[in-house]
């Protein structure tokens, strides 16, 4: 498909859309689908037919994630912008009857609520607005425009400089500058080069990547294609978790559609640029989120990390230069190219630019997916957007970064969210999982839960991680059973130090974080578990 | 030496082996096809057994030890036959603090099985998953492929009875 054809498809699609008087969008992402949004869509279609609406006057569409997963299934009506929550199949006739009147009060969700109003959507701009299984919908939302522009008007160096200027940092958690990574791969000797998308979202409590892939898969493909063009790669791999069947299915559909329209494959958009994307399924190993382990897994081996350097940028898949970025990082590329690096770098803080998608869950009223500008405070996320803690309970801590992160207490809620401040607090930005805990959660139990996770997920390559996590888990068990001693606490602290400093990869190095952060802010809970002192 | 490398015939004349052969051929019978092939093996037969692993090792020209190594490394693969029904309890962080441990206790009490085990009558397998990414609906249970959200012990008990009528 050439740039002109793309514009023609977009114009046609928009005119079809504008000719319908109303559009009812049903969330078709995994969360709402499990609440039977499929049956709801059928019911809505029946209701439109019985109430005399034709396909030109009211369209029922399945769209990606609308965000507030905790109140699913969600339905949105365009152009009025009315949102409905916890919609039952029986509500369908009322929703259709209310198309031209006042919204149905009992299920109405005010779109002015802070959950929606306080967000800034870049990565999720199409999420909940387009049908992820239709390429035309994506094209009508300026999809593949950035790729055609990059192909016809930009040199690889210009693409990299735009990404560099944007200040975008890796969204997988470590926050390495994306532009720098791209230029390293572009400069590296060796061919063919590969582009890998890390969609192995193993961090429990995080579902940003799943949502992006389910709601807007073409955006990730476009970002990967632009990356391949910039670094000179011709093959791409998406390593996605087997636990996300819907995301896998939608990616397969998207790849097939893009190939058929000449947006992937050989001679993309009539140019000399070739780029093919392959899917690889993960098999349930958390450590495969680490880049060298992921590469080993794509090669068909056990997913064990190896020492770096050499970094994958120099020696990655099959020993050749490999660019590896997270789903959310690629999802940011098309808007950066469309609007310019300066536009992106105007959002956020000095060192963390743009927005971040967080998966808000746990003891919180508005559980779901949010995208906020960097620099927003944790308090705003938890109490404004998240709506605070349900059941009248008190806030205790917010856990970011999953098993590699830490718990942040009330006292630091006014900290602006960016890579550096979260690290300073003993947690990490991580991939974006944010679990809120109320007063009923025991911090020792949380630390033990994450240690059990790291213990079972340790690949077993280095002894400090393999044996250290098991020892720490056992010690934490004593605290949980309230028969610990002061010597146990000292041993636990020294093990944290040892495992952090002597493990090879990020899993081991960050495994003590949940323990050290809870020890730092909730030490009395550990001391209360000394046998015969604070215990029973 | 390497005698097993010569034998590339499927272990039986079961037609399903053609699916496995096709998935290996799709990736050029190269060693990087291993994990994709194990996925296809498990999807087709329900679990990985020795004959299947030997066949894959021979076809892809990988030592059996390395195939076994990969099969046991990844949590997704199982080498035990599974029950008729599969109940997967999510043990992700959100589900953990919203009561997944109670759900596991309930199943242990009702069915007498722990994660990774199958009831003696082969009716039900209990598995755990690290996170389905449906944290907004925590706690989550996947029963025979259907994702159930906001599961309480009552709902789970009801669903278990539905799936396995003989259960108490």
- pTM (two decimals): 0.94
In CATH terms, the fold of domain A355-438 is Ubiquitin-like (UB roll) (3.10.20)
The CATH number of domain A443-527, selected from 1.20.140.10, 3.30.300.30, 1.10.3720.10, 1.20.1440.230 = 1.20.1440.230
Task: Specify the pLDDT at position A241.
Answer: 93
In a domain, residue B67? The reply is yes
Give CA–CA dist A85/A74, Å, rounded: 5
Q: What is the pLDDT of residue A533?
A: 58
Identify the pLDDT of residue B6. Answer: 55
What would the pLDDT profile of A333-380 be if each residue is shown by its tens digit? 999 999 999 999 999 999 999 999 999 999 999 999 999 999 999 999
Answer yes or no: is pLDDT of B166 > 90: no
Flag whether the ipTM exceeds 0.95: no
Residues 6 or more apart in contact with residue A111 via CB below 8 angstroms: A81, A82, A83, A117
**A60-76 burial, b if ≥16 CB within 10 A, otherwise e?**
bbbbbbbbbbbbbbbbb
Chain A residues with CB-CB distance to B70 below 8 A: 300-302
Same structural domain for residues B159 and B90? Answer: yes
Fill in the DSSP letter of residue A169.
B
Q: Of B73, B96, B131, which marks where a domain is finished?
A: B73
Give the pLDDT of residue A507: 93
Domain ranges of chain A: 20-113, 142-345, 355-438, 443-527
How many Å lie between the alpha carbon of B77 and the closest alpha carbon of chain A?
A: 7
CA–CA dist A432, A359 (Å, integer): 6
Nearest Cα to A195, choosing from A165, A154, A250, A156?
Answer: A156
CATH H superfamily, domain A20-113: Glutaredoxin (3.40.30.10)
CB contact under 8 A, B70 and A302: yes
Same domain, yes or no: B123 and B146: yes
- Comparing alpha-carbon positions, the chain B residue that sits nearest to A366 is B136
Burial of B109 (0-12, 13-18, 19+ CB in 10 A): exposed
Quick check: bond before A3 cis, omega within 30? no
Note whether residue B66 is domain-resident.
Answer: yes
The whole-number pLDDT of residue A367 equals 93
- Interface contact B129, partner A, CB < 8 A: yes
Residues present in chain A in total: 536
Residue B23 domain flag: yes
Three-state SS sequence of A370-381? EEEECCCEHHHH
Asked whether residue B59 falls in the same domain as residue B97, the answer is no
Q: Which residues of chain A have pLDDT under 50?
A: 534-536
B56, B24 Cβ separation under 8 angstroms: yes
- The reply to whether B62 and B112 lie within a common domain is no
Looking at the complex, report in whole angstroms how far the Cα of residue B37 sits from the nearest Cα belonging to chain A.
9
Q: Chain B residue closest to A360 (CA)? A: B136
Measured between beta carbons, which residues in chain B are less than 8 angstroms from residue A30? 132-134, 147
Domain end call among B51, B73, B95? B73
User: What per-residue confidence (pLDDT) applies to A536?
Assistant: 41
Mean pLDDT of B15-39: 94
CB–CB of A362 and B149 under 8 A? no
**Model pLDDT for residues A131-154, shown as the tens digit of each residue:** 999 999 999 999 999 999 999 999
What phi and psi values does residue A350 have, to the nearest 5 degrees? -55, -45
Instruction: Choose one of B14, B42, B73: the last residue of a domain.
Output: B73
| CATH class of the domain defined by A142-345 | alpha beta
Gap from A504 CA to chain B (nearest CA, Å): 18
Range of the domain at B17: 3-73
Chain B positions touching A453 (Cβ under 8 A) are 130
> Do B101 and B40 share a structural domain?
no
Q: Are residues B125 and B92 in the same domain?
A: yes
The tally of domains found in chain B comes to 2
A358 beta partners: A370
Cα angle A434-A435-A437, degrees, rounded to a multiple of 5: 145
């Amino acid at each position: 498909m050439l740039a002109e054809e793309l514009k023609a498809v977009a114009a046609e699609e928009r005119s079809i859309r504008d000719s319908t008087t109303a559009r009812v969008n049903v969330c078709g992402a995994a969360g709402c689908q499990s609440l039977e949004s499929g049956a709801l869509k059928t019911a809505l279609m029946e209701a439109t037919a019985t109430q005399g609406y034709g396909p030109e006057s009211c369209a029922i569409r399945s769209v990606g994630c609308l965000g507030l997963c905790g109140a699913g299934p969600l339905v949105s009506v365009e152009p009025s912008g009315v949102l409905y929550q916890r919609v039952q199949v029986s509500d369908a006739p009322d929703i259709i009857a209310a198309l031209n009147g006042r919204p149905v009060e009992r299920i109405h969700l005010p779109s002015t609520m802070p959950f929606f109003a306080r967000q800034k959507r870049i990565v999720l701009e199409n999420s909940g607005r387009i049908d992820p299984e239709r390429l035309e919908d994506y094209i009508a939302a300026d999809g593949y425009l950035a790729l055609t522009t990059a192909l016809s008007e930009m040199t690889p160096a210009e693409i990299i400089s735009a990404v560099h200027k944007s200040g975008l940092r890796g969204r997988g958690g470590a926050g390495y500058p994306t532009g720098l990574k791209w230029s390293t791969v572009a400069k590296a000797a060796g061919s063919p080069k590969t582009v890998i998308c890390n969609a192995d979202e193993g961090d429990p409590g995080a579902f940003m990547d799943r949502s992006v892939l389910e709601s807007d898969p073409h955006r990730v493909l476009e970002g990967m294609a632009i990356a391949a063009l910039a670094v000179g790669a011709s093959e791409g791999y998406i390593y996605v978790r087997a636990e996300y069947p819907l995301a896998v299915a939608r990616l397969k559909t998207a790849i097939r559609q893009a190939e058929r329209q000449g947006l992937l494959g050989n001679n993309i958009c009539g140019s000399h640029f070739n780029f093919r994307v392959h899917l690889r399924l993960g098999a349930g190993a958390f450590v495969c989120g680490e880049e060298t382990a992921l590469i080993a897994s794509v090669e068909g081996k056990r997913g064990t990390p190896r020492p770096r350097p050499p970094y994958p940028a120099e020696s990655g898949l099959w020993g050749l230069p490999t660019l590896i970025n997270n789903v959310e990082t690629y999802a940011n590329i098309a808007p950066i190219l469309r609007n310019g690096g300066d536009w992106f770098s105007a959002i956020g803080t000095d060192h963390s630019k743009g927005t971040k998608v967080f998966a808000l869950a746990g003891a919180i009223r508005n559980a779901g997916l949010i995208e906020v500008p960097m620099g927003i405070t944790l308090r705003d996320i938890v109490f404004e957007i998240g709506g605070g803690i349900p059941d009248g309970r008190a806030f205790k801590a917010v856990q970011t970064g999953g098993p590699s992160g830490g718990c942040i207490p009330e006292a630091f809620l006014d900290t602006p969210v960016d890579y550096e401040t979260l690290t300073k607090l003993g947690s990490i930005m991580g991939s974006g999982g944010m679990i809120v805990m109320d007063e009923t959660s025991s911090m020792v139990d949380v630390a033990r839960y994450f240690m059990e996770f790291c213990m079972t997920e340790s690949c077993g390559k280095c002894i400090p991680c393999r044996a250290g996590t098991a020892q720490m888990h056992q010690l934490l068990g004593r605290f949980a059973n309230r028969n610990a001693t002061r010597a146990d606490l000292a041993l636990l602290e020294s093990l944290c130090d040892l495992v952090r400093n002597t493990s090879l990869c990020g899993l081991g190095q960050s495994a003590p974080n949940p323990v050290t952060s809870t020890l730092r802010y909730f030490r009395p809970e550990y001391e209360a578990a000394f046998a015969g002192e604070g215990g029973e | 030496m390497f005698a097993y490398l010569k034998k590339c015939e499927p272990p039986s004349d079961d037609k399903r082996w053609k699916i496995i052969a096709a998935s290996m051929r799709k990736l050029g019978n190269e060693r990087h096809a291993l994990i994709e092939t194990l996925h296809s093996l498990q999807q087709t037969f329900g679990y990985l057994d020795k004959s299947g692993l030997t066949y894959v090792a021979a076809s892809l020209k990988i030592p059996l030890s390395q195939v076994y190594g990969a099969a046991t490394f990844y949590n997704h693969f199982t080498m035990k036959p599974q029950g008729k029904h599969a109940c997967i309890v999510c043990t992700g962080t959100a589900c953990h603090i919203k009561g997944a441990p109670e759900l596991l206790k309930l199943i242990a009490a009702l069915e007498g099985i722990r994660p990774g085990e199958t009831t003696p009558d082969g009716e039900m397998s209990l598995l755990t998953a690290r996170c389905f990414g449906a944290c907004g609906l925590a706690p989550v249970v996947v029963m025979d492929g259907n994702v159930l959200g906001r599961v309480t012990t009552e709902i789970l008990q009801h669903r278990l009875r539905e799936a396995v009528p003989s259960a108490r």
